[in-house]
Amino acid sequence: MIGAIENAIIGALRARSEAGELGYKYRLLDTYPDDFDQYFVDKKGQIRAPAAWCTFLALDDCQDFGDGQGVQGIGRFALVLAAQNLRNETATRHGGPDGQSEPGSYQLVEDALRILSDNWLEDEPNVRLIRSIAVAGVRLVQRTEMMAKNNLSLMAVELRCTFPMGRFSSEAEGFEQLHIDWDVPPIGNVIPPLPAARADARDDIAVPQ
């Protein structure tokens, strides 16, 4: 569920971008890297903005309801948005003259909030929320030397949603009989490919019902 929600958040941005509703298109949508500076090195500084990365932060206030309902909690996710502009540092935040073809990081945040606030992510498979996404906060990511060198401005949005973790059923169907073959060296008959047509040892186990 956690990974599905992370992908669904990115998917919500991708859908609006590909539909042409934003006035610009995301050029990179991905999960957030463990080490952002190393990510720059691996990409050789070629970050294709506008860009967004999403990652899971924590699961808080977990409750186990029992009676087959399982555990539910408040999931916290971070969405990091990146804008790039070669004009100057201010333009990376404010955008270019028309505000659309060169969106700044502020514009990316405002659009992301419109898309994700109160979003149930219902268009994505394997996602079931108990409460829709809520925006918990927005902050400017401190500019590193690598970010400045690449004319980037990053903003981080914290998102929260409540979802169930589920439970394994105690009434899951089992099996009635188990058959096992062993190919045992050095007795012989151990010639690839395995398993051999005639096993060195065989066993059948009946499971009591």
Q: Quote the pLDDT of residue 180.
A: 63
Nearest in space to 135 (alpha carbons), one of 71, 77, 52, 182: 77
Buried b (16+ CB within 10 A) or exposed e, 69-95: eeebbbbebbbbbbbbbeeeeebbbbb
Q: Quote the pLDDT of residue 100.
A: 72
198 located within any domain: yes
pLDDT tens digits, one per residue of 102-144: 899 999 999 999 999 999 998 777 788 989 999 999 999 998 8
Q: Indicate whether 148 and 186 sit together in one domain.
A: no
Q: Quote the pLDDT of residue 153.
A: 94
172 located within any domain: no
pLDDT tens digits, one per residue of 8-54: 999 999 999 999 999 999 999 988 877 777 777 777 667 789 999 99
Q: Quote the pLDDT of residue 71.
A: 78
Q: Indicate whether 67 and 156 sit together in one domain.
A: yes
> Residue 41: helix, strand or coil by DSSP?
helix
171 located within any domain: no
Q: Indicate whether 159 and 116 sit together in one domain.
A: yes
**Cα–Cα distances in Å, from 153 out to 26, 49, 66, 143?**
15, 10, 46, 7
pTM of the model: 0.75
* Domain harbouring 49, CATH code: 3.30.2000.10
Tell me the residue range of the domain where 187 lies. 177-206
